[in-house]
């Protein structure tokens, strides 16, 4: 810092000059970021909702099955196989480890997460593991949509 810089700094302190500025570029970037993070889950279209939830929770697929393995809803085409795989895997683990709340399996760098909730099985695949809290939140949102669909 030169003499003029030091004098300017001294003057700023003494005269309480506000030398701050708002970065317009940063604000614009934040605006864009914020706009991308909007997810409209207020829809009665189950398929549309599942697509939104997939993006909202950054997961690859979501399948909902009955406890016998039959598919209720899915974001991908192979829902039948996925639902049977998920429910049978959970049932097996639960028979060996009673009171299991969820099953998390790391497969080839990705995660397969299985969790029963309100008499249904939720099977989620994602690049990173979600907390059971977040899995429950997905289940709750879908549960509401399924109830809306029924009524």
Partner 1 sequence: MGRVITLVSGKGGVGKTSITANLGIALAKRGISVLLIDADVAMANLSLMLGMHSNPISLHDVLLGEADVEDAIYDGPAGVKFIPSGLSLEGYRRVDSERLQSIVNSLQKQYDFIILDAPAGIEKNVASAIAAADEALLVTMPNTLSLTDAIKIKLLAERLDVKPLGIVVNFIMGEKGELRDYEISKLLDELPIYGLVPYDDEMRRSFIQKTPHPVVLRRPSSKSAVAIQKIAAKLSGTPISIGTKKQIPAEEAKKQGIFARIIGMFKKGKG
Residues that bind partner 1 in the complex, under the rule CB under 8 A: 15-16, 18, 20-23, 26-27, 30-31, 33-34, 37-39, 56-57, 131-134, 136-137, 140-141
Q: Which residues contact 135 (CB under 8 A, 6 or more apart)?
A: 102, 113, 115, 117, 122, 124
Q: Which is closer to partner 1, CB of 60 or CB of 141?
A: 141
Q: Which is closer to partner 1, CB of 27 or CB of 105?
A: 27
Separation of CA 26 from chain center? 26
Instruction: List helix spans (H) across the chain.
Output: 3-15, 24-36, 46-56, 79-96, 132-150
Contact at 8 Å (CB) between 64 and 74?
yes
Task: Report in angstroms how near the CB of residue 19 gets to partner 1 at its nearest.
Answer: 8
At 49 the three-state DSSP class reads helix
Q: Which is closer to partner 1, CB of 41 or CB of 44?
A: 41
Task: Report in angstroms how near the CB of residue 14 gets to partner 1 at its nearest.
Answer: 9
Task: Report in angstroms how near the CB of residue 111 gets to partner 1 at its nearest.
Answer: 15
């Amino acid at each position: 810092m030169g003499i003029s810089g030091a004098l300017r700094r001294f003057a700023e302190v003494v005269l309480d000059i506000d030398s701050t500025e708002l970065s317009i570029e940063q604000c614009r970037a934040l605006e864009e970021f914020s706009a991308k993070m909007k997810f409209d889950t207020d829809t009665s279209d189950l398929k549309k909702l599942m697509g939104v939830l997939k993006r909202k929770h950054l997961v690859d697929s979501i399948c909902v099955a009955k406890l016998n393995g039959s598919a209720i809803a899915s974001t991908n085409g192979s829902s039948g196989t996925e639902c049977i795989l998920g429910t049978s895997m959970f049932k097996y683990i639960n028979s060996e480890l009673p009171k299991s709340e969820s099953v998390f399996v790391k497969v080839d760098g990705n995660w397969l997460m299985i969790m029963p909730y309100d008499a249904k099985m939720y099977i989620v695949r994602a690049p990173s593991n979600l907390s059971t809290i977040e899995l429950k939140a997905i289940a709750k949102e879908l549960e509401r949509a399924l109830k809306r669909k029924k009524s």
